[in-house]
């Protein structure tokens, strides 16, 4: 159901930063992270509704990636608590967070170039497996689990149409295929929440629709998707809810249309554009500079 539909599950939720959700799966409180004197993240309260696509927008440097890093244990917060269905995740390392049901992909793809596509997927299951000692004592348990993990990998290769690349080095994949591999790898642990950091950045436009199709399919299967994206057409098209960060804090959240036309949001983008480009005559462009990172490996 599109977010413009009056029967959409979020239609009656008031567009206010920190507003309670009817059925939150993820709840975040007072999370902050500073780098030197810069407060990169300072989020008072956020609830993420279960089973929907929540987009995070905000100008370059707003703190979106840092927020993802904190939630998934890849960086340590200075303060704050967050939980999935009441299970606290703050202070937990990434593999524990993943086992609790929260996985992420990276703005810069992390696929290991000199490892096969299949082995990259198998690596995604690490952390799902039990203790080494258990494996040593009960090898039959491990063999059963390994068989299941392999089956899951094959299933995901199929789903993301990477089967023909199964035994190739991940380094031979195109940018878009690498994004798919990363999504597949995150799904190995059968998560409940997937955080996607600009999955479309640097992807051939021809593949964008297919990537978006995968994102909505995940939502339609019941996953909760949190999605960092700069392209406002994409955000308007697939989001059920939008959260805008600026200078580390939530300045607006609501249905896509409401946030897209919120003067505070437009100001935030205009502000950074004025600062960065000093072109005051420019109208605010809500899809700022490309976030395809030149340092991203292309082969």
Ligand X SMILES: Nc1ncnc2c1ncn2[C@@H]1O[C@H](COP(=O)(O)OP(=O)(O)OP(=O)(O)O)[C@@H](O)[C@H]1O
Beta-strand runs (E) in 51-208: 53-57, 79-84, 87-88, 102-104, 193-197
41: number of Cβ within 10 Å: 27
- Pick the piece of the chain touching Mg ion (CB under 5 A) from 105-113, 207-215, 262-270, 273-281: 105-113
Decide whether 43 or 225 has the Cβ nearer to ligand X. Answer: 43
Rounded to a whole number of angstroms, the minimum distance from the CB of residue 255 to ligand X is: 22
Decide whether 120 or 272 has the Cβ nearer to ligand X. Answer: 272
Closest listed residue to residue 183, CA positions, set 200, 206, 166? 200
Q: Which does 199 bind (CB under 5 to 8 A by kind): Mg ion, ligand X, none?
A: none
Decide whether 178 or 230 has the Cβ nearer to Mg ion. Answer: 230
The vertex-285 CA angle with 283 and 286, nearest 5°, equals 140
105 is a contact residue toward ligand X (CB under 6 A): no
Site residues (CB under 6 A) for ligand X, limited to 142-171: none
Rounded to a whole number of angstroms, the minimum distance from the CB of residue 288 to ligand X is: 8
Closest listed residue to residue 239, CA positions, set 247, 248, 229? 229
Binder of ligand X out of 46, 62, 270, 286 (CB under 6 A): 62
65 is a contact residue toward Mg ion (CB under 5 A): yes
The site for Mg ion, by CB under 5 A, has a size of 3
Tokens of 231: 């392209």
291 is a contact residue toward ligand X (CB under 6 A): yes
Rounded to a whole number of angstroms, the minimum distance from the CB of residue 58 to ligand X is: 6
Rounded to a whole number of angstroms, the minimum distance from the CB of residue 65 to ligand X is: 3
73 is a contact residue toward ligand X (CB under 6 A): no
- Interatomic CA distance for residues 112 and 262, integer angstroms: 41
Longest dimension (CA), the chain: 70
60 is a contact residue toward ligand X (CB under 6 A): yes
247 is a contact residue toward ligand X (CB under 6 A): no
- Interatomic CA distance for residues 160 and 155, integer angstroms: 9
69 is a contact residue toward Mg ion (CB under 5 A): no
Q: Which does 60 bind (CB under 5 to 8 A by kind): Mg ion, ligand X, none?
A: ligand X
What is the DSSP code (8-state) at residue 169?
Answer: B
273 is a contact residue toward ligand X (CB under 6 A): no
Burial environment of residue 198 by CB neighbours within 10 A (0 to 12, 13 to 18, 19 or more): buried
Residue 119 phi/psi, 5-degree rounding, is: -65, -30
- Pick the piece of the chain touching ligand X (CB under 6 A) from 14-22, 43-51, 54-62, 119-127: 54-62
Q: Are 106 and 82 in contact (CB under 8 A)?
A: no
105 is a contact residue toward Mg ion (CB under 5 A): no
Q: Are 227 and 104 in contact (CB under 8 A)?
A: no
Binder of ligand X out of 24, 61, 175, 284 (CB under 6 A): 61
State the residues that interact with ligand X by CB under 6 A. 35, 38, 40, 58, 60-66, 107, 291
């Amino acid at each position: 159901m599109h977010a413009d539909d009056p029967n959409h599950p979020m239609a009656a939720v008031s567009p206010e930063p920190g507003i309670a959700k009817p059925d939150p799966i993820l709840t975040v409180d007072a999370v902050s992270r500073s780098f030197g004197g810069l407060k990169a993240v300072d989020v008072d309260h956020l609830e993420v509704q279960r089973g929907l696509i929540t987009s995070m927008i905000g100008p370059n440097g707003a703190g979106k990636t840092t927020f993802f890093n904190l939630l998934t244990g890849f960086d340590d917060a200075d303060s704050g608590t967050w939980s999935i269905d009441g299970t606290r995740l703050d202070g937990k390392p990434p593999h524990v967070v993943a086992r609790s049901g929260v996985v992420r992909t990276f703005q810069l793809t992390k696929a290991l170039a000199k490892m096969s596509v299949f082995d990259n997927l198998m690596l995604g299951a690490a952390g799902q497996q039990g203790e080494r000692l258990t494996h040593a004592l009960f090898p039959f348990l491990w063999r059963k689990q390994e068989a299941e993990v392999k089956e899951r990998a094959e299933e995901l290769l199929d789903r993301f149409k990477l089967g023909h690349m199964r035994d190739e080095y991940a380094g031979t994949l195109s940018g878009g295929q690498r994004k798919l591999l990363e999504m597949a790898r995150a799904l190995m642990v059968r998560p409940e929440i997937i955080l996607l950091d600009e999955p479309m950045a640097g992807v051939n436009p021809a593949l964008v629709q297919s990537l978006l199709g995968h994102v909505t399919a995940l939502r339609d299967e019941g996953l909760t998707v949190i999605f960092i994206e700069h392209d406002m057409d994409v955000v308007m098209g697939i989001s059920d809810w939008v959260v805008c960060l600026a200078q580390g804090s939530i300045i607006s959240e609501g249905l896509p249309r409401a946030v897209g036309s919120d003067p505070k949001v437009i100001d935030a983008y205009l502000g950074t554009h004025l600062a960065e480009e000093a072109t005051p005559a420019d109208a605010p462009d809500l899809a700022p500079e490309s976030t395809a990172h030149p340092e991203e490996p292309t082969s």
